């Protein structure tokens, strides 16, 4: 077996005698050293407190990257350690490159010798050296997500596990969560696996791991898990790396999972010179394994640890910081810090955080895009503006409004709404119903969800279509009447054709929104995503609901399909100044001059699923997410919420988010549409003082709400209270000349002529 401690040729062995210059011990660093210049007192303390465990609580915009870089430069320049004796861990390759470049710019190429990278990259480096101790060869393969699922499918097939009842992708997600928790198959209990794969999940996990060893392969979860096994089973290897890494630096510590936490604790036990930088108030990734408890227990894990709080924010205005601090103070599970301005601001130019209440989603999109256009006319760049949503389905109305007004935009972290997989699939069903000759739509959904129609069956359809000059759908209807296909696929294809004909007939009796819902449900497409256990599945279901809702805005299915085709032509040139649309999760670490935060309503934000599944910890993470959203803004924030949302073509009252109540009044300017809070509203929930969940309507608290500018047409305006002889009392929610859309107290939403109603 090769030497388990053999190192890369360009890195000296850690147990060799240090150079004479290094052996003389640390040297003094001048106070005007470039990495120390410009640091505030807290940053300076975090950089120069090199010995012992240090926790740097770095609030949003307080310069954590600067501190990490300066600290590493200070350790190396003061000769407290050789480069290879420093371990610096980041969460992304981009962050690792940035840190290495910055340190090299401060102290020169010596920075190249530092062990600096992501958890996975550093673990690969260790495992390549000691692979034989784990039953692997040093040239092991790292499988991607597709290969992982394919391998697990092979294991499940060999054990005769029903893949339809227990999808391999869902079981793989569970296995990866176990790995993130540092749990091998023999560490699982019956309670962990009883409801998975017929109670055989533990066995399948063990066989999957054995197959990986046979293939000389690892998946991403194994990289940390194997390192933990290596350290725990081979004390000499652990002692080697504990002795080598005299200083450990960790970025974004609040995002570590259990396996990463255990790995760091083991390595730090010798010198205990570990510095973790993070912000417990920005821990928002529990859904992918992050444990906020790791940062909260740091002082217990490392007794005598020094805690340094970075609270001087160099990004946002005082009003934004005060609003964010007031909000996050409602969380109980936090270490506690208060952001304060680190820069001077022109008091006359500082805007308060604005909260705007509107009647519905389309009005919310109009308000936000109008504001964007106003800022653009003032000369501000679209690239400095961002719309940050809680859930992906929220982007549709903003995308369509931006396209209507000609404002360029880009969606970061995912495709545009109509480019998403589930939307394209649903649209293919609608396209084929609308136009049976659409062969591309037929090919996309004929076996989606799986109907047992393999390549051989589809080839029969293609051959018949070419031979007879027919569309694929007509050819399919023809071949199911023959014996050219095997009985099982022929029956499945016949059922599909019958479904399409039935749905096409129902176009005459159902609205296109209702038809879309029927198609999604009866085809099994909705059920397919309901049974999918991947983290993306709930969001896909929300997007499908939003698609159904969008259909209600159009007079015909054909009109909707044409609209989508035009929407897809939005300018994709990279050199165009564009507004950014992205989720709040994706926005962490970014900053913009102007930030728009829509959908602050109960069930949307905080998200109902997060509260249902996570309880109070889930609610606190949602609040941290709101804090992240507010602190992305440098100059201004507009928070919006709608009194009504349309779901399946039915208007439903939406309650304002409890987070709005938690924003301190002295730093917030509140504004609502006429009638939204004055004189009662059409929903009983709005009329009551307490609407549940701890939220009370603003007038009950004495909160000052301004009336938004009047949007009038003729003698009526959105928000007017009106009376109709037949439908009774209601509020105007839309005005189109003399045509009104009114939400009546008892009759619901109706379209009426202005000449038939009276203002009250």
540 & 639 share domain: no
Q: What is the pLDDT of residue 633?
A: 96
Distance CA 684, CA 701 (A): 19
Tokens of 758: 């009276």
Tokens of 280: 């417990």
Quote the number of domains for the chain.
5
CATH number of the domain within which 250 lies: 3.40.50.300
Query: Of the candidates 719, 717, 726, which has an alpha carbon nearest to the alpha carbon of residue 747?
Result: 726
pTM of the model: 0.74
Mark whether 183 is an active-site residue: no
- The backbone region for 698, taken as left when phi is positive above 0, alpha when psi lies in -120 to 50, beta otherwise, is alpha
Q: What is the pLDDT of residue 348?
A: 63
Residue position matching structure tokens 């606190």: 620
Q: What is the pLDDT of residue 392?
A: 84
User: Is 346 among the domain residues?
Assistant: no
196 & 266 share domain: no
User: Is 67 among the domain residues?
Assistant: yes
Final residue belonging to a domain, choices 549, 570, 591:
570
591 & 554 share domain: no
Distance CA 748, CA 744 (A): 5
Catalytic residue among 50, 65, 229, 338: 65
Catalytic residue among 222, 252, 661, 720: 252
621 & 542 share domain: no
User: Is 5 among the domain residues?
Assistant: no
Mark whether 65 is an active-site residue: yes
Q: What is the pLDDT of residue 673?
A: 65
Residues of the chain where predicted confidence (pLDDT) is lower than 50: 1-23, 678-702, 710-713
**Is omega for the bond preceding 606 within 30 degrees of 0, making it cis?**
yes
Q: What is the pLDDT of residue 570?
A: 54
126 & 155 share domain: no
Catalytic residue among 42, 43, 64, 363: 64
User: Is 641 among the domain residues?
Assistant: yes
Distance CA 642, CA 672 (A): 10
The three-class DSSP label of residue 640 is strand
Annotated binding site: 58-65
The domain of 537 spans: 418-570
The residues, ordered by sequence, that sit 6+ positions from 261 with a Cβ below 8 Å of its Cβ are 291, 294
Q: What's the angle, vertex CA 402, arms to CA 748 and CA 513, rounded to 5? A: 40
171 & 306 share domain: no
User: Is 25 among the domain residues?
Assistant: no
User: Is 665 among the domain residues?
Assistant: yes
122 & 146 share domain: no
Q: What is the pLDDT of residue 189?
A: 81
Mark whether 632 is an active-site residue: yes
Distance CA 496, CA 49 (A): 69
276 & 190 share domain: no
**Between the CA atoms of 493, 561, 567 and 450, what dihedral angle is there, to the nearest 10 degrees?**
-10
User: Is 691 among the domain residues?
Assistant: no
Per-residue model confidence as pLDDT tens digits over 5-52: 333 333 333 323 333 344 457 888 888 888 899 999 999 999 999 999
Distance CA 412, CA 595 (A): 15
Residue 61: φ, ψ to 5°? 70, 20
Mark whether 252 is an active-site residue: yes
Contact 354, 671 (CB under 8 A): yes
Final residue belonging to a domain, choices 292, 310, 328:
310
442 & 527 share domain: yes
Q: What is the pLDDT of residue 260?
A: 94
**Alpha-carbon distances of 699 from 119, 660, 670, rounded to whole Å:** 51, 13, 11
**Alpha-carbon distances of 138 from 142, 184, 214, 263, 662, rounded to whole Å:** 12, 22, 14, 21, 55
Final residue belonging to a domain, choices 215, 238, 256:
215
552 & 583 share domain: no
User: Is 30 among the domain residues?
Assistant: no
Q: What is the pLDDT of residue 569?
A: 58
Catalytic residue among 337, 431, 490, 632: 632
The three-class DSSP label of residue 271 is coil
Q: What is the pLDDT of residue 459?
A: 86
Catalytic residue among 90, 209, 254, 282: 282
Mark whether 509 is an active-site residue: no
CATH number of the domain within which 439 lies: 1.10.486.10
127 & 270 share domain: yes
Contact 288, 534 (CB under 8 A): no
Mark whether 437 is an active-site residue: no
121 & 237 share domain: yes
Catalytic residue among 180, 219, 222, 251: 251
CATH number of the domain within which 169 lies: 1.10.10.160
Annotated binding site for ATP: 58-65
């Amino acid at each position: 077996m090769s030497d388990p401690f053999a190192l890369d040729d360009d890195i000296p062995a850690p147990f060799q005698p240090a150079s004479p210059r290094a052996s003389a011990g640390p040297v003094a660093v001048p106070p005007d050293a470039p990495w120390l210049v410009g640091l505030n007192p807290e940053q300076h303390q975090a950089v120069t407190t090199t010995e012992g465990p240090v926790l740097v609580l770095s609030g949003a915009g307080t310069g954590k990257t600067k501190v990490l870089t300066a600290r590493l430069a200070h350790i190396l320049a003061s000769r407290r350690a050789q480069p290879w004796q420093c371990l610096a861990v980041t969460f992304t390759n981009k962050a690792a490159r940035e840190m290495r470049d910055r340190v090299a710019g401060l102290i020169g190429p010596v920075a190249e010798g530092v062990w600096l990278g992501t958890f996975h990259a550093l673990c690969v480096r260790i495992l390549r050296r000691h692979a034989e101790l784990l039953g692997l060869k040093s040239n092991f393969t790292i499988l991607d997500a597709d290969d992982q699922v394919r391998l697990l499918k092979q294991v499940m097939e060999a054990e005769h596990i029903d893949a339809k009842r227990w999808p391999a992708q869902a079981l793989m997600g569970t296995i990866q969560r176990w790995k993130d928790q540092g749990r091998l198959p023999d560490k699982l209990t019956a309670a962990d696996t009883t409801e998975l794969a017929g109670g055989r999940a533990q066995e399948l996990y063990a066989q999957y791991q054995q197959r990986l060893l046979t293939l000389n392969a690892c998946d991403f979860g194994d990289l940390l898990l194997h390192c933990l096994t290596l350290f725990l089973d081979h004390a000499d290897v652990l002692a080697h790396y504990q002795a080598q890494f005299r200083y450990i630096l960790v970025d974004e510590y609040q995002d570590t999972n259990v396996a990463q936490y255990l790995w760091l604790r083991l390595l730090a036990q010798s010198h205990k010179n570990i510095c973790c930088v993070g912000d417990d108030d920005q821990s928002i990734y529990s859904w992918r394994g992050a444990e906020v408890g790791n940062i909260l227990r740091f002082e217990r894990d490392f007794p005598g640890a020094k805690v340094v709080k970075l609270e001087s924010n160099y990004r946002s205005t005082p009003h934004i910081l005060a609003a964010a601090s007031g909000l996050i103070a409602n969380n109980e599970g936090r270490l506690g810090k208060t952001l304060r301005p680190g820069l001077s601001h022109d008091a006359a130019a500082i805007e308060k955080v604005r909260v705007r209440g509107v009647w519905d989603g389309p009005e919310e999109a109009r308000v936000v895009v109008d504001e964007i256009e106003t800022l653009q006319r003032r000369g501000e760049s679209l690239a400095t503006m961002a719309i940050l949503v809680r859930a992906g389905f929220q982007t549709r109305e903003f995308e369509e409004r931006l396209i209507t007004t000609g404002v360029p935009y880009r969606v970061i972290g995912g495709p545009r709404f109509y480019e998403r997989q589930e939307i394209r699939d649903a649209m293919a069903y609608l396209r084929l119903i609308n136009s049976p000759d659409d062969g591309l739509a037929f090919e996309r959904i004929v076996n989606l969800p799986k109907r047992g129609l393999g390549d051989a069956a589809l080839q029969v359809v293609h051959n018949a279509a070419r031979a007879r000059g027919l569309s694929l759908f007509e050819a399919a209807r023809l071949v199911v009447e023959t014996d050219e296909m095997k009985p099982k696929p022929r029956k499945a294809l016949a059922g599909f054709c019958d479904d399409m004909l039935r749905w096409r007939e129902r176009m005459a009796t159902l609205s296109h929104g209702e038809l879309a819902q029927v198609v999604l449900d009866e085809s099994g497409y909705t059920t397919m995503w309901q049974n999918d256990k991947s983290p993306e599945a709930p969001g896909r279901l929300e997007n499908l609901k939003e698609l159904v809702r969008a259909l209600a805005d159009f007079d015909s299915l054909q009109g909707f399909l044409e609209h989508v085709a035009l929407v897809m032509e939005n300018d994709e040139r990279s050199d165009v100044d564009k507004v950014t649309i992205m989720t709040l999760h994706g926005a962490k670490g970014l900053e913009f001059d102007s930030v728009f935060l829509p959908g602050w309503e109960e069930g949307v934000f905080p998200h109902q699923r997060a509260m249902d599944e996570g309880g109070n910890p889930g609610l606190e993470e949602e609040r941290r997410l709101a804090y992240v959203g507010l602190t992305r803004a440098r100059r201004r924030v507009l928070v919006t919420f709608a009194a009504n949302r349309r779901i399946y073509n039915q208007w439903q009252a939406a309650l304002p988010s409890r987070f709005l109540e938690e924003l301190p009044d002295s730093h917030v300017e509140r504004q609502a549409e006429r009638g939204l809070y004055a004189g009662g509203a059409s929903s009983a929930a709005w009329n009551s003082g307490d609407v549940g969940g701890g939220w009370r309507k603003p007038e009950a608290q004495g909160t000052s709400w301004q009336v938004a500018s009047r949007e009038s047409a003729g003698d009526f305006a959105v928000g007017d209270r009106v009376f109709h002889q037949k439908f009774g009392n209601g509020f105007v929610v839309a005005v189109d000349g003399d045509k009104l859309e009114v939400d009546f107290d008892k009759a619901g939403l109706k379209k009426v002529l202005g000449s038939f109603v009276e203002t009250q």
